[in-house]
Amino acid sequence: MLPGLDLVTAVTEDDTRELWPVYDAVFADVPDLDSWREGVWDRHVGRAGFRLARARLDGRLVGFAYGYTGQPGQWWTDSVADGWPEALAAQWLGGHFELVSIGVLAETRGRGLGGRLLDTVTHGLPHERWLLMTTADESDPARRLYASRHWAVLGPGLDVDQVVLGRRRPDAQAGTQQIP
């Protein structure tokens, strides 16, 4: 059975509590729900352009992808700009869609769910430019997923083992995917 997907642009307290265990199982990078909310989640859900794609199998949340409109003055956008040549930053940063996270529970990986989530969260985006940060390891499954969807390396990420990938909205340049 294929997991069902939905896309929302606002979340409730129940949505947040449902998402946390999946986020924690995939990333395990913050100690608890309150720390995650205070450090990241509550700020992200309040940003312009926020959208969350969710995947459920037999009614249980098994994956998600989310992002929002990235702008100067936001930590990630400013941090990337600091490490990029000025012309590249001016061309790509600000008013872009920032894909923050894709997470799929280990037991449901390998079924194309990450790709379906990525397609769902980006479907119909008004943003011409889309960005994300991921591993620099080209053999990583995430990198293969992004490459299959025409994302390309734009520049370094915030750590030596990371890169920033970008792509243009499919119809932004008469169907071409020229990077940059």
Task: Give the model confidence (pLDDT) of 82-116 as tens digits.
Answer: 999 999 999 999 999 999 999 999 999 999 999 99
pLDDT, residue 56, reads: 97
Question: How confident is the model over 58-71, as a mean pLDDT?
Answer: 97
Question: How confident is the model over 125-146, as a mean pLDDT?
Answer: 97
Q: How far from the centroid of its chain's Cα atoms is residue 35's Cα?
A: 20
For 141-154, the pLDDT digits (tens) are 999 999 999 999 99
Question: How confident is the model over 131-150, as a mean pLDDT?
Answer: 96
pTM metric for this prediction: 0.93
Band of the pLDDT at 171, cuts 50, 70, 90? confident
Classify the C-alpha dihedral 170-154-111-66 as positive or negative: negative
130, 151, 174 from 144: Cα distances, Å = 17, 10, 25
pLDDT, residue 176, reads: 42
Cite the active site residues: 146
Q: Report the distance separating Cα 154 and Cα 142, nearest Å.
A: 16
* Residue 40: count of CB within 10 angstroms of its CB: 16
Among 154, 106, 149, smallest CA distance to 133 is for 154
Q: Where are the alpha helices (DSSP H) in 60-176?
A: 75-83, 86-92, 113-122, 141-148
| 3-state DSSP assignment of residue 112 | coil
pLDDT, residue 1, reads: 62
Band of the pLDDT at 173, cuts 50, 70, 90? low
- CATH architecture of the domain covering 4-168: 3-Layer(aba) Sandwich (3.40)
DSSP classification of residue 3: P
Q: Report the distance separating Cα 161 and Cα 158, nearest Å.
A: 8
